Structure formats: C-alpha cells, structure tokens
Amino acid sequence: MAESFHSGVAEVASRHCCRLVLAQLLLALLFGGLLWSELLRVDEASMAVARERGDALFQLVETTRDWNARHGGVYVLETDEMQPNPYLVHPRRDIVTRDGQHMTMVNPAFMTRQIAELAQQSGGVRLHLTSLRPMRPANVPDAWEAEALAAFEQGEQERLALFERGSEPVHRYMAPLRMVESCMQCHAADGYRLGDVRGGISVTMPAEPLLALRDAERRRVAGMFLVAFVLVAGSVHYVLLAARRHVRAIARVNAAQEQLIAQRTGELEASNVGLAREIEERRRDQRSLAASEARYRAIFDSTAEGIMLIDDDMRITQVNPAFTAITGYGEDEVRGRGLDLLGAGRHGRDFFDGIRSALAAAGNWQGEVWNRRKSGDAYVQWMSITRASLPGEAGAFVATLTDITLRKEAEERVQYRADHDALTGLPNRALFQDRLDAALASMHRNGGLFAVLFIDLDRFKAVNDGLGHPAGDALLIEAGRRITGCVRESDTVARFGGDEFAAILLEVGGAEDAREAAQRICAALAESFVLEQGEARVSGSVGIALAPLHGNDRPSLESCADQALYAVKRKGGGGWCVYPPDGWPAGETA
C-alpha cells in the first residue's frame, strides 16, 4: 500500500513539472509574440512621423518651385553670392535694369538648390534635387535615389528609409517631381510630356530625436510586457503548485480510505468512494474559482493602463489604481457617473451617443478622447471599450485609457517647425501666405481694410562680413523682436529668409495707420544693435500695399508691396513707401 502511494505521488510530481514547463513555454511564446507585434507598431509610428515631416518639407519645396515656374522664373540682383546659373539656357537669363542694375533669372531648379543650402545651414536638413537625366553633375542620384526614381516611373508615389549606419542616423524621404504645364516651357524640348517624372527631391533629416523617442517607447513597452509576464507566470506557477499540494493531500486521504475500505463492508466502501469524489470536485471548483479571481485581481490592479468597468447604461462601476493615478479621481468619486465625465467640456452629446451606438452594434469602440484630471489639467487619451459580458447576461464593458499627451505634443512640435522660421521663431513664408489668404477671405466676407508690409534690412551683408554669421543671426533675431513690438498682437510678422521680413496689419483705418506702423519699424531698426561680437547698425526699408485698394488677391498685394519696397531701396533705403512708388501718381516715401 505504501509503495503504491509513493509511486502515485512520484507520477503526480512528474506530471506537475511537465505541465508547469509547458504552461511557462506557452506564456513565453504568447507574450513574446505580443511584444514583437507592439515593437513593430512603435517602429511604424516612428516612421510615420518621419514620413509626415519629409512630406511637409517636400510639399513646401514643390509649392515654391511651382510658384517660380508659374511666373516663368524670378529675377534677383546679381551679387558675388548670387551668380548666374551656368546650366540655365534662356535668352533673357541676364538683364540690366534701366537704372543699371544687373539681374539674373532664378529658375525652379536653381531656387531649390538655394533653399537646400539654407535648410542644411539652419536645421541640418539636406535637400537634393536629382534626376535620372540630370543637367548638372551635382544632380546625379546616389544608389538609393536612383532606385527610388526608377520606382516612381513605375507608379510609386513616395519612398522613406532609415539609415542608422554611422554616428548620425538619418531618415531619407523622396517623392517625384512630375511635369506640369508650367514646366513644359523649359523642358518640352527634352522630350518630356505632361505627367512624366522629371526627377525628384530627396529630403535627408536627422533621425536622432525620433530614434530616441522610439527607443524610449520600446523600453517602456518591453518593461510593461516583462512585468505582465512575471505576474501571469507567477500566478500560473502558484496555481499549479497549489494543485500539486492538494493532489498529494488527496492521495494521502485516498490511501487512508483504502485501508478503511479493506476493513469495512462493501456498502461502506461505496459510500466512502462517493464521498471522496464529491469532496474532490468541490475542492477543484473552489481552487479554479480562487485562481481565476487572483489572476483577474492581479492584472486589474497592476496594469499601467487605466481601466474602467462600465454597465449597460454607460455608467462607471469600478476603476483600477492606474485610473486614479492618471486622472486623480478615486473610485468613490466616479462610481455611478457617465462617460461624459471624460469629455473635459470638448465633446458634445453627439460624440458619446456615437460611442453608445458603436458598442450596441459592434460591441467595441476606440478613439481619442479629451479628459480632465481632478487638478483641472486637460489631456488627450486613447480609449478602447470592449464588451465583457456573455450573451443573455446584463451588459458590461471594459474600457482602457492611455495618456497620449506626449505623442500629441511631439506631433505639434513637428508641425510648428514646418510653419515657422528656425532662427527667429517667426512664421515662415508658407504660414504668412496662409494668414494672408485668411485675411483676404475675411475682407471679402466682412469688408474693411488691411495692410501688407514687405521689410528688408539695409547693410545687413556688411554685418555678416564684418562681425561674422553668428552676429548676423543674433541681429536677425533681435530685428524680428523689434518689428513684432511695433505691431499689435493680432497682426502677423514673418521672416521669408535672409534679411527679408513681412507683416500683415489687420483692420487698419487707412493708409495713415500703415504709415505710422512703418515709421515705428524704421525707427526701431535704426537703433544700434549691441551684439556679443560688437556694435552693429542697419536700417529698414518698408514697402506698403493696402487691400483692397491695391489688390484683391495674394499675388497682387505681394507684387505691389514688393514694388514699393524696391522703390525705397533705389532711393538708398532707410524709409518706407506706400504703393505706387515714386514716379507713379500718389507715390510717397518716408
């Protein structure tokens, strides 16, 4: 009898070890697969941000090129730094103005190279205009660009890659440049047709900041999965160990019962066997229930995600500690309240009715929701709701909350960099033109006047040459601050690049208001600039155009302001001029 008992105990121990190993292996495979999937999602999110950034820069350059091509190229003053483009074949590439100034034509390709140099100097972004049939040696594509250009000709719309080799990892984004009507005037002779791929622009962006965010998210996800795996594996181990102890105890009881059965009659034997079976089933049910409750409580209390249990009326019945840590609300404060507690005042009834409809139809819903912490701070969270009740039972749902404020802030920073000048923090040309379009739309709806000012710094090149580029950058920053201080908060001050600034003065009473603002700007810029490298003096030239007196659309207003600016420049600078300039009726300068 004792030998049989010990043999049974050994067999039970062997089965227990096999089950434990198998359970741990399955858990490891499950959590490993989930972790791999989540890491892939983190990588995809990082690449998506890089794609958006590259596409924004490409669209900005393509819009600039299209503007240039629509105007048949633009003329700029020929200087030591701006020499004629040797690769541009055009009968009017170089002209001389009536007052003897030498001007040279800047075509879209030449303008792109100028923008690329500025982008690399200011933000480390490298732009490369290239083609499978380049006109200049510097436009020859590298291997990756050549492969992308071949794919574009087969219909591919864009390409993105991460190069982590070397000390400075980069994201490379590339999209095609297709022939449009405005391009045909220069490239029709090369055999191109509308819609053909002329070439492309590759954008090379520093990847270190995005990779740092990606790696931090990877570590967070890996840590979360490790904690969850340890908790679940520990729970499984505990359950199986408890089962082993109970089985051994039952084996001892059975051995004792076998001795009694041998001494008693068949009736007592049958009764004891039935009793033992009933006890075994009851204990097994109790162990199963206790293990299930322990697993649920461990996951519910220890997960880093906020969890809410919601009834069929969409009212909160229970929350976990992570919910309290994220929102600041304890369970007693939110029990019985509806989901509109999470709205932070930014979601109406229709939003929450939509959630109820989705849960009734599909049993699940997920999306972004604005929430407000108990402290009053609003933040963005990702909420997923899933039905947790069986068919025929009262409705119950589980909602998980994840704070995505940092990710939203990162997206906003990327958007800010795309719309603002990297040196001064002022709006760039693209954002200036958007606000000018908005001002024109408001004028067409409501009437009124507003003014457009184009502002150049006189003798700025002498500062760069004499004190160095760092001094020039410091002067540009201070000049932007002074110009901003001369207008109202509702007005817009932008920097186009170099020493070129512009402003939009909303709701002016007439030309006199614009003149007063120009006088303040000229006076502010004429004051000495005390820089770390030394003292510098410049002056400002301001060209003024009024809407709708001088134009009802953006190109007209920009052209008028530009003509007025150059009228001041021709007179030596240091003043202002309302369009039309001198020599036109009603022209005037400061």
The arithmetic mean of pLDDT across residues 157-179, rounded, is: 84
List the structure tokens of 57: 């820069």
Classify 304 as helix, strand or coil: coil
Across all residues in the chain, what is the average pLDDT? 82
Find out if CATH 3.40.50.20 is the number for domain 305-413. no
Highest mean pLDDT among 89-98, 406-415, 509-518: 509-518
Question: Cα–Cα distance between 508 and 518 in angstroms, integer?
Answer: 13
Q: Give the DSSP letter of residue 533.
A: T
**307 close to 400: Cβ distance less than 8 angstroms:** yes
pLDDT at 69: 72
**Helix, strand or coil, per DSSP, at residue 527:** coil
Give the C-alpha separation, 185 to 376, whole Å: 60
Average pLDDT of 252-261?
73
Q: How many residues does the chain have?
A: 590
Compute how many other C-beta atoms are within 10 angstroms of the C-beta atom of residue 148. Answer: 24
Number of H helices and number of E strands within the chain?
15, 20
384-389 long-range Cβ contacts below 8 angstroms, 24+ apart:
385/310, 385/355, 385/359, 387/359, 387/363, 388/309
Q: What pLDDT does 293 receive?
A: 65
Tell me the torsion sign for CA atoms 467, 469, 474, 475: positive
Top-confidence range, 104-108, 113-117, 118-122, 458-462: 458-462
Q: Which pLDDT belongs to residue 567?
A: 95
Say if residues 378 and 369 touch (Cβ distance below 8 Å): no
List Cβ neighbours of 125 (8 Å cut-off, separation of 6 or more).
57, 119, 203, 204, 205, 206
Q: Break the chain into its structural domains and give their ranges.
A: 305-413, 420-589
What is the distance between the alpha carbons of residues 475 and 536, in angstroms, rounded to a whole number?
Answer: 8
Cβ atoms of residues 198 and 131 within 8 Å: yes
Please tell me the distance from the alpha carbon of residue 319 to that of residue 301, in angstroms, as a whole number.
9
The structure's pTM equals 0.39
Q: How large is the average pLDDT for residues 391-408?
A: 69
State mean pLDDT over 391-415: 69
Specify the amino acid at residue 391.
Answer: P
Which CATH number does the domain 420-589 belong to among 3.40.50.720, 2.70.70.10, 3.30.70.270, 3.90.950.10? 3.30.70.270
Least confident of 214-228, 282-296, 460-474: 282-296
* Poorest-pLDDT segment among 70-74, 238-242, 295-299: 295-299
3-state secondary structure 252-269: HHHHHHHHHHHHCCHHHH
**Residue 299 vs residues 30, 154, 193, 227, 382: alpha-carbon distances, Å:** 16, 51, 63, 10, 19
